[in-house]
Each structure stands twice: as C-alpha cells, then as structure tokens.
Homo-oligomer: A and B are copies of this chain.
Amino acid sequence: MVPHLITSLTGPINELEQRVLESMPAIERWFRLEWMEHTPPFYCSVDLRNAGFKLAPVDTNLFPNGFNNLTPQMLPLAVQAAMAAIEKICPEAKNLLLIPDSHTHNSFYLSSVQRLVDVFTQAGLNVRLGTLDAAVKQPQKVTLPEGGELLLEPLQRSRGRLGLKNFDPCTILLNDDLDGGVPKVLDGLYEQYLLPPLHAGWTLRRKSNHLRSYEELAKKFAKLLGMDPWLINPMYALCGDVDFDDSAGLDCVRSHVDTLLGKIKRKYKEYGINERPFVVVKPDAGSSGRGILTVRDAKELDAIGHATARAGSDMADMPPAGAVIIQEGVPTYERMNDAVAEPVVYMIDRYVVGGFYRVHAERGIDENLSAPGSAFVPLAFAESSQLPRRGERPGASAPNRFYMYGVIARLGMVAASYELEATDPEAEVYA
C-alpha cells in the first residue's frame, strides 16, 4: 500500500531511489560511522515530503507522539531498538519514569503514551508515568479509548533526583516538548539521565540550528551518493528580528523570499520541473503547526502590514514576533484516495522502527498537514515487504520506497544529533 505518486513527476525521485538502493551497504556503513562519533537522540519522528522531484524532511520531532499509529507488526522492532537504547544508557536500570505531555489530553495521545509504556516494559523496565501538572497531588487514573487505563502520578523531587512515590528511576524519558518553558522540577537533575535533554525542548530549540546541521549532512551524504544535495535538502534563510504586526524586519523577509524563489526557479528549470515555486515562512522556535505562511511572491507580504487586508486571507495566521525561517516549499505529491499524504518515520535509538502516512483531506499539496483534521494511515514499514528489494523497477516497489524514506529520515536524525551537540549548554568547548 503505497500512496499514489503523480507519475509525471517521479523522474528524479526514482533516480534517487535507485541510487539509494544501489548504495545500501555504503549508506549503512556511513550511518555506522556517524554513530561512532555522535549519539542518536533517544527517539524521534521525522515528517517527510516527497515532491516526486525531491524528498526532504520537514520536521524532526524529538518528543514524538503518534506511536499508536504504528502497526502491531512494527512493535517487535521498537522493543528491540528500545533494548539497544537502554543497554547503552543505563543497562542496570530497573525503572523508567515517563513524563507525558501535560497539555495534551486527547485520547490519541494517551494511546501513544500507552504504546510507549508497552514498548519499554517489554524491553525490560518497570515503567511509571509522572505528570508535570502540579495540580495532580494524588495518583490519577485516565481511561484509554480502547480500554485499559493509565496511572498518572505526582512527581517527587529531591535534591538531585526526580521520581515518584517509592519509585527511583535511573532514566527519565520526556515526552513533553517544553513548548511552555522548562518546569522547575526538571532543572538540575544531575544524578539521572533526562532524555531527551532539556535543550531539545522548544524553550531552547531553534529550527535554524537543525536546518544548518541538516544542510551540512545533506551535502556529505549527497557526495557519498554522487548526487545534487538539493534533491534532499530544502534551501532556507533566517531573519533575526521580525514582527509582522508592526512590520519590523519585513525587509529581510521580503528580500529572502525573493532570492529564494529565484533560486528555486533556477533549480526547477535545471530539472525541467513545471511547477510554481513557493516558500514557507515560519517561526524559528515552536513546534505547533501555526504561524506558517505559504508565499509564492514577495508581493504577497505587502498585505502583511494591513490587518484588514490580512483578515480572511492566507496571511491571517502569522508567525509571532521573533526570528523566522524562510524555507523552500516542498510540495507533497503523494496521494491516498485523493487526499494529500505525508510519510512520517519513527526511530528509536539509531533504528527505524516504523512509520505511517499522515493524510489530510482538506489541505493542499503545499500546506502543513500536521493540523487538526488530519487522519493517519499506518505505513506497513515492518511487514514482510519492508526490506528493500534490489533489482526492482524504481518507484514500483513499496519496500524500496520505504527504505529510501528510512534513509532520509535517519539523515534528519543524524542532523538532530549534530544540532543537540552544537547547542548543548553544558558541552565543554575544545578550542
């Protein structure tokens, strides 16, 4: 079950797929060497966009949810990867404290948390849930939609450690992206492993750092495969101080939008792509799908200063004041029953453990699909067909497509690893 891809545009992506397959041992070795020098994030999910002519990660989530969307067939892979992850971090561990997102209460999210509990229990840990919600003073049962329940317990903080009543974990696994800031209770936990680290949260994280790392890696990787890095890397620029409300910093945005659109146009011409280029303007910080503008012409930004002109237009949802990213837009040309589809790949430790298609019936090919109304169709990554089949016609084989997705998603994961190293506030600097 591979979503349909508009065939007229599959030329370059099929070439990429073929090159990725042919280079499989070299690619896997390349990843092995990267992981000798760098530490993979404990877990992550990467949203990809397949434009037919290029394939790129558009979001690398270090606090992934949606584990409930993986098919049961994928679970053994997740458990095996979790075992490998634990073994490296804290092999003697008995207990794992999992801290879910305290702002998300929908039942899909709770099912994802349940899935994580399952995975880490089966990997051999006693897993309990601690809540960041300070209002919770007593253990609280939450009923799951598919039956069963989760027990959320109040956190207990001592000097250097965090735990629950009668529960002292070796590792604390965070599933809250800290969009609202770092809770005091998580500060200064020097005696335990807090994963991902605090600076992976959106309080400190910036998309531009990730994009910089990804660009560097895309170039290295493209060199390995002897191809144009643009095929896997969306171009981008950064504007430091922008406030759309009072038109501050708009010149920077306008000029980068213009330059970027020009560059994309030249690339499209080079590859014979008959598309109208677009860029995406979005906040440098924050994980939400809001404040994202799709721009096809720098002139569209002129309306920005006029609240009345903005109302009801594409410009109604503007990035908040702060730094913004101007990024080459990558349309997604995968379709499932006529709805736009975007693959999402899940990783634990260095391993791809599954994935699914995010499908949104009401959104366009150039819009963000991570928004209310999206539906999920599990991708059969771990089925018999998962393993790539060399020798099959490019574009015709689901396993080969998925293998390519897994490779590009892992490239995003390596970039996250570089990014976290570069932004670690406690890293020692060797000059």
Contact = CB atoms under 8 A, between A and B. Distances in A.
Interface of A: 24-29, 31-33, 35-36, 71-73, 75-77, 79-81, 83-84, 86-87, 91-94, 118, 121-126, 350-351, 381-388
A28 to B, nearest CB: 2
B125 A25 contact: yes
B25 A71 contact: no
B72 A384 contact: yes
B124 A76 contact: no
Contact of A122 (B26, B72, B125, B387): B387
A339 to B, nearest CB: 26
A190 B316 CA distance: 69
21 contacts: A24-B124, A25-B94, A25-B121, A25-B126, A28-B122, A28-B123, A29-B125, A32-B124, A33-B92, A35-B87, A72-B384, A73-B382, A75-B386, A76-B77, A76-B381, A80-B81, A80-B351, A83-B351, A84-B84, A122-B387, A122-B388
Nearest to A90: B32
A352 to B, nearest CB: 9
B126 A71 contact: no
Contact of A87 (B24, B32, B76): B32
Main secondary structure of the interface of A (DSSP, over half): helix
B387 A28 contact: no
A71 B76 CA distance: 14
A92 B87 CA distance: 21
Best-surrounded residue of A72, A118, A387 (most CB of chain B within 10 A): A387
B91 A32 contact: yes
Contacts of A79: 387
A122 B33 contact: no
Contacts of A94: 25-26, 29
A384 B122 contact: no
Contacts of A382: 73, 76
Contact of A387 (B26, B27, B75, B124): B75
Contacts of A72: 384-385, 387
